[in-house]
Amino acid sequence: MKARVHVTLKPGVLDPQGKAIHKALSGLGFDTVERVRQGKVIEIELAETDPARARESLRQMCEKLLANTVIENYAIELDG
């Protein structure tokens, strides 16, 4: 079973990366860009066929390791 975990900064948390990308894009002449935020995607293949169990296990992975829940949110997406 394949899954994707999206990790994004919580709203209001400073995103230096996004800020720098925004500036760089403007510098390159992409002047329609209004806002940039950067996040992570973690693709995980699981030896698990039960979606409910997979989701629960992914949730635990996020809480324990994949996301820094102090400043980040996460979203889990299961394939198929």
Partner 1 sequence: MTAPPPNIVAEHGLSGEEYERILDILGRAPNHLELGIFSVMWSEHCSYKSSKVWLKTLPTTAPWVIHGPGENAGAVDIGGGLAAIFKMESHNHPSFIEPYQGAATGVGGILRDVFTMGARPIANLNALRFGDPNHPKTRHLLAGVVAGIGGYGNCVGVPTVGGEVNFDPGYNGNILVNAMTVGIAPKDRIFTSQASGVGNSIVYTGSKTGRDGIHGATMASAEFGEGAEEKRPTVQVGDPFTEKLLIEACLELMATDAIVAIQDMGAAGLTSSSFEMASKGGLGVELDLDRVPCREDGMTPYEMMLSESQERMLMVLKPGREDLARGVFEKWDLDFAVIGRLTDTGRMVLRMHGETVGDLPIDPLAEAAPEYRRPYEDTPEAPAIAPSAVPAPDDTGAALRRLLGSPDLCSRRWIWEQYDHMVMADTVQRPGGDAAVVRIHGTTRALAITTDCTPRYCQAAPHLGGAQAVAEAWRNLTAVGARPLAVTDNLNFGNPERPAVMGQFAGCVQGIGEACRALEFPVVSGNVSLYNETNGKAIPPTAAIGGVGLIEDLERTADIALKAAGEALVLIGETRGHLGASLYLREVADRREGAPPPVDLAAERRNGDFVRGLIGAGTVTTCHDLSDGGLAVALAEMALAGDLGAQVTPPEDPALPPLHAWLFGEDQARYLVTVPTSEPVLEAARRAGVPAVRIGTTGGDALTLPGGQPIFVAELRAAHETWLPAYMGETPAD
Partner 2 sequence: MKAAVIVFPGSNCDRDVQVALAQAMARHAQKGGGGGTPTMVWHKDSDFEAVDLIVLPGGFSYGDYLRCGAMAAQSPVMKEVMRRAGKGVPVLGICNGFQILTEAGLLPGALVRNANLKFVCRDVTLRIETSQSLFTARYEAGAKIRVPVAHHDGNYIAADEDFERMEERGQIAFRYCAPDGTLTTAANPNGSARNVAGVFNETKTVLGLMPHPERLAEDALGGTDGRPLFDGLVEALS
Instruction: State how far the alpha carbon of 32 is from the alpha carbons of 22, 26, 28, 63, 70, in Å.
Output: 10, 8, 11, 36, 32
Footprint of a copy of itself on residues 47-76 (CB under 8 A)?
Answer: 47-48, 57, 60-61, 64-66
- Angle, vertex CA 53, rays to CA 48 and CA 51, nearest 5: 70
Q: Should residue 52 be labelled a site residue for partner 2 when binding is judged by CB under 8 A?
A: no
- Fill in the per-residue mask, 4 to 43: x = in contact with partner 2 (CB under 8 A), - = not in contact: ---------xxxxx-xxx--x--xx---------x-----
| Contact positions vs partner 1 (CB under 8 A) | 9-10, 12-16, 19-20, 23, 27, 68-71
